Amino acid sequence: MGLVTGAIGSIVSKLAELLASEYKLQAGVARIESLARELESAHAFLQEIDKVPPDQLNEQVKLWASEVRESSYDMEDVLNTFLVHAKDDPKPVDKSKNKNKLKRLKEKIGVLFSKTMARHDIANAIEEVNRKIKEIAERRQRYKLDDHVASPATPSTGIDPRIALVHGTSASMLVGIDEPREAVLKMLSHDDTKTRVVSVLGFGGLGKTTLAKATYDQLKQNYECGAFVSVGRNPDLVKVFKDILYDLDKDKFRDIHSTQKGADLLIRQLLDLLRDKRYLIVIDDVWETQSKKRITEALTQNNKGSRVIITTRNSDVATGEVYKLQPLSDDNSTELFYARIFGGEDKCPDTQRQKVSEVADKIMKKCGGVPLAIITMASLLVGKSMQEWFEVCNSIGFRDKDKEQVDDTLWIVSLSYYDLPSHLKTCLLYLSVFPEDSLIKKDVLIWMWVAEGFVEEKPGIGLYEIGEGYFNNLVNRSLIQPVEDEETRIVNGCRIHDMILDLIRSLSREAKFAMQFDNREDILSGSNNARRLALHNRVEDNPLDNHTDTARARSFFAFMCRFGPGVQLGSFKLLRVLYLEDCPRIRFCEHIGDLLHLRYIGSYRLYKLKLPEEAGAFKFLRVLY
């Protein structure tokens, strides 16, 4: 189940289940098959939409996709509810001789009536689903939406803000660069003739490009020729090879970009040029292994002591010796902040030092040692009053201020998100429900994904193992930070960087995927019509009463809340995941036995969570944690 495609894939499989079942539906087999075909067409179109960056999508396409997604959830809810009740075993008819024949006849009639009503209800439901999907299909044709989906390979016309950091930042701004640069230089300095590859690994905005450029600038005079070329998210390898040739010899290849040569001819030309030369080449911002392999094969075929530096945010791409770039230390973070605003800490006016220090501490925590984030936030404050500084600091995720610098930082982080396949986008967005800086246990998270239906089944592989692959993929892409067990050194959890958390929370709210409320935010009626609801640090006895549309919720989380002795869950009719953490007053969840769709119940650091006797009625419960 992907974010963009909603629950369409699930609906198609459920319709197939209905066709294979014993229910002879009044809607008719042909009608169900027609509906399934229409849904499959919509599903395929949505998958194409998912490949296109949002800024390249027509607004009508976005609205249509959003409508399909929300409608698909409603459709699945209807089908799920029917299938849950359809699987209920009817009460067996007592055929004992001692029983009155009239009573036995009444029981038989009751069973037949129940089946007839079930068929009638699902027939009506499918008729409603059919009507909705026809309206959606007609709107797609009416607005010719298929013609408005741009090619995902179309490069963005905007300027990557990282370019300014690479070419516009003075040497004095490279705070904290000395130690990592020395480490990379040491990896490159082996006295051998073999072409050596060093990879710089780290998540977006951490300064990989800046480090590679600083290293390149220091070493390039020691080589016969050199090049510094960016690859990017959607690489055009023909252009990449042309850029390398041009950087290596600008006179000889001044017209290279106007040629029509393909990649193979350019690689041959590159091999001929480099065969007898000692070179230093930086291949910056490589996203996937296929491009990396093609490029490095063209650059590692001589024995002149040449060197290649690769920067990437994907550990699968990293090759050769790998330097994992770490966030700046607290001291270096503070130094960079003051350097950007005042030109150095010693130039901060004494009258402002205490207030500046207070703001700086908050910003340092939010930026987490990410140089790009620190420079961005500091740039936002330059020329502003101290009152405005505090307003920026107190704004949630620094997103309340419409400033280009902040947009640049989030844009860089968002590149990693938009590069994900649909199912991983959904899995990443699910982390938006957890509190900032929290340790998220790997097994807890994976089983939640399974319970929600995000993990796609594959023959011969367990759902947990598939989910673990999703988890590892997010780690490899530097979107979540792995946490190891101190004794076993095995990764058993993760944390999520504040910048990424801000991004996915914003995306979750926009898509009505999940909503989070803490003690600073009021829960307003109609504001939380998302499918997942998370409460952080709430203290009301009944925080949900008369405020929330809980009937649509699929997951409910409570972290560090102090509700009254009972939590009313009866309205969460479609709930699949229930998770309570550090909620000491919660002891008994009333009506939890009525939640027939529950697949995961988790509690952590509770005084005692008592489940009612009817909890045995859970037919789909996978995990009781």
Reported as a single tens digit per residue, the pLDDT across 603-615 is 876 655 666 665 5
pLDDT of amino acid 31: 62
Which pLDDT value is given to residue 311? 94
- DSSP H helices, 231-324, are 237-248, 263-274, 289-297
Token look-up 């849950």 returns: 84
CA atoms within 13 A on the CB side of 55: 9
pLDDT number for residue 590: 65
Which residues face 145 on adjacent strands? none
Asked whether 199 and 352 are in contact (CB, 8 A), the reply is no
Task: Assign 160 a pLDDT band (cuts: 50, 70, 90).
Answer: very low
The SS3 of residue 322 is strand
For residue 152, is pLDDT > 60? no
Residues 115-123, mean pLDDT to the nearest whole number: 58
Residue 28 has pLDDT above 60, yes or no: no
Cα 538 to Cα 106: distance, rounded to the nearest angstrom: 52
Identify the residue with better confidence: 90 or 497.
497
Tell me the CB-side half-sphere exposure of residue 32, using CA atoms within 13 A. Answer: 24
- What per-residue confidence (pLDDT) applies to 406? 52
Q: How far apart are CA 430 and CA 413, in angstroms?
A: 17
* pLDDT tier at 544, thresholds 50, 70, 90: low
Q: Which of 300, 378, 290 is nearest to 335 (CA)?
A: 378
What does the pLDDT average to over 357-367?
A: 82
Q: Which two tokens stand for residue 354?
A: 């205490």
Report the SS3 class of residue 484.
strand
Residue 163: its pLDDT value, please?
A: 36
Q: What is the pTM of this model?
A: 0.70
The predicted model gives 538-543 an average pLDDT of 67
**What's the whole-number mean pLDDT along residues 407-424?**
73
464 falls in which pLDDT band (50, 70, 90)? very high
Q: State phi, psi for 215 to the nearest 5 degrees.
A: -65, -45
Collect all residues with Cβ–Cβ distance below 8 Å to 582 and sequence separation of at least 6: 559, 560, 561, 604, 605, 606
Tokens of 8: 């369409």
In sequence order, the β-bridge partners of residue 578 are 556, 601
* Amino acid found at 486: E
What is the rounded average pLDDT of the residues 433-449?
91
Dihedral angle, C-alpha 464, 469, 471, 472, nearest 10 °: 140
Per residue in 238-251, pLDDT tens? Answer: 889 999 999 999 99
SS3 285: strand
- Segment 331-351 shows an average pLDDT of 84
Which of 288-292, 464-468, 595-599 bottoms out in mean pLDDT, i.e. has the lowest? 595-599
Contacts 24+ apart (CB under 8 A), 121-125: 121/82, 122/18, 122/23, 122/25, 122/27, 122/79, 122/82, 122/86, 123/25, 123/26, 123/27, 125/78, 125/79, 125/82
| Confidence check: pLDDT of 263 > 70 | yes
Mean predicted confidence (pLDDT) in 113-133: 62
- Model confidence at 107, pLDDT cuts 50, 70, 90, reads low
